Amino acid sequence: VHEELGLSPGIATTVTAAIRDKDVNRKRTVAKTKEFKLQRLKLKSQRSSETRSHEIREGDTYCSNVIADAQEPDLTVIPGPSEDNCEHIEKVVVFYDLETTGLSRQSSITQISAVCEEQEFNRYATPTQEISEDACRVTGLKFNTATNELLYNDEPVSHKHPQQVLLDFIQFLMSLCASDKHIVLAAHNNRRFDSIILFNQLKFYKLWNHFSRYIVGFCDTLPFFKMLYPEFENYKQEYIAQKLLNEAYSAHNALDDCRMLMSLVKKTEKIDVLLSDYFYSSHQVTFQGVQPNKESLEHLLRNKVLSRTIFKKLEDSTLTYNHLKISYHRDGFDGLFYLLSEKTGSGKARISNNRRVIQKIADFFSNEE
């Protein structure tokens, strides 16, 4: 600029330009060194690893055309390292109940209700199957296909498509979620009936993975009451209510069942026992029923897939057996590697970056297929 104007640069301009030129030359010199190039490659590798770790943890969340895909999208989100530091994660029990078109595990849902303290949920679903005579007699629900009316004790009730009812239920559970809370669904005879029906219906409408993001598992109150009161003649919910609370109520209305079950469990003052001894994880639920908990970190430890040190690290983190399995199915060895070696806030590997340790886990899942 000064040359174009025929002017000499001022003293301040000359000094500033000299300093900047010196700094540029220094950076150029440093950029040519072996150490600088290695550091740049290291940072590039770290950014790439962080991206892959996020992709493994998030599944199909950000993929295009997820809804249009014929298969159920993999929307399960694996918790990140920042969530491992939670000192205490509270389990919130939601008492729920289903009314169905029959006793088959493939039956259609006609009513879903749930209660969590003061929060309540209740929806009637349009039956997709004919309601059996036994179900009509027990639940009081009838469906008139000609008029599309669902009747409860001969009074019409509002009803929605089952898929919309399930979405409303998930929305209700989402409203109860918090960063320091995990939801557990409790029901009477849950292990043999309710959780299986719910699983089958959610799978049918491709909502199970979405649903599983908000619950950690289920509890069955039937064996719980059998353990506490072995002297009882039977363990139907209305009988237990009569014995413990001296109350009669409208059994087989899902909402009344939920309210009563919550009162009964509170009466025992042993909800911690219910959560510890009668809990089963959501990944144990299948079309055929609840499977034994072979899919656990303890199972990996017993089979010498994990050392006790790695087992302890996993146990102290928010990662579960199911998270390891999901990451393997998403990208094999690499999926496990990017999940377990992801850097924490302190710059250390979340669990381990030892390839031999991770290879043993990958080999285990490979042999399970």
Identify the pLDDT of residue 294. 58
Give the CA angle between residues 12, 18, 24 to the nearest 5°.
135
Helix/strand number for the chain, H first, E second: 15, 9
Distance CA 151, CA 172 (A): 24
Distance CA 276, CA 273 (A): 5
Q: Which of 221, 256, 284 is the last residue of a domain?
A: 284
Does a structural domain hold residue 132? yes
* Residue 165 near residue 98 (C-beta atoms within 8 A): no
Domain that holds residue 172: 81-284
Q: Are residues 270 and 306 in the same domain?
A: no
Does a structural domain hold residue 30? no
Distance CA 364, CA 300 (A): 9
Q: Are residues 139 and 248 in the same domain?
A: yes
Q: What pTM was estimated for this model as a whole?
A: 0.66
Q: Which of 230, 263, 284 is the last residue of a domain?
A: 284
Q: Are residues 102 and 149 in the same domain?
A: yes
Distance CA 263, CA 186 (A): 13
Q: Are residues 130 and 245 in the same domain?
A: yes
In one-letter notation, the amino acid at residue 174 is M
Instruction: Return phi, psi of residue 214, to 5°.
Output: -115, -5
* Structure-token pair, residue 119: 């929060």
Residue 324, classified by CB atoms within 10 Å of its CB into exposed (0-12), middle (13-18) or buried (19+), is buried
Does a structural domain hold residue 7? no
Distance CA 244, CA 115 (A): 20
Q: Are residues 98 and 227 in the same domain?
A: yes
In tens, the pLDDT along 184-242 reads 999 999 999 999 999 999 999 999 988 988 888 899 999 999 999 999 999 999 999 99
Other Cβ atoms closer than 10 A to 61: 14
Does a structural domain hold residue 28? no
Q: Are residues 254 and 311 in the same domain?
A: no
Identify the pLDDT of residue 76. 72
Domain count, the chain: 2
Collect all residues with Cβ–Cβ distance below 8 Å to 182 and sequence separation of at least 6: 89, 90, 91, 92, 215, 216
Q: Are residues 356 and 232 in the same domain?
A: no
Q: Which parts of the chain register pLDDT below 70?
A: 1-3, 5-7, 9, 60-75, 82-89, 178-180, 250, 292-295, 369
Q: Are residues 116 and 247 in the same domain?
A: yes
Q: Are residues 251 and 307 in the same domain?
A: no
Q: Are residues 262 and 303 in the same domain?
A: no
Does a structural domain hold residue 318? yes
- CA distances to 121, 153, 211, 304 from 171, rounded to whole Å, are 10, 28, 9, 41
Q: Which of 231, 254, 284 is the last residue of a domain?
A: 284
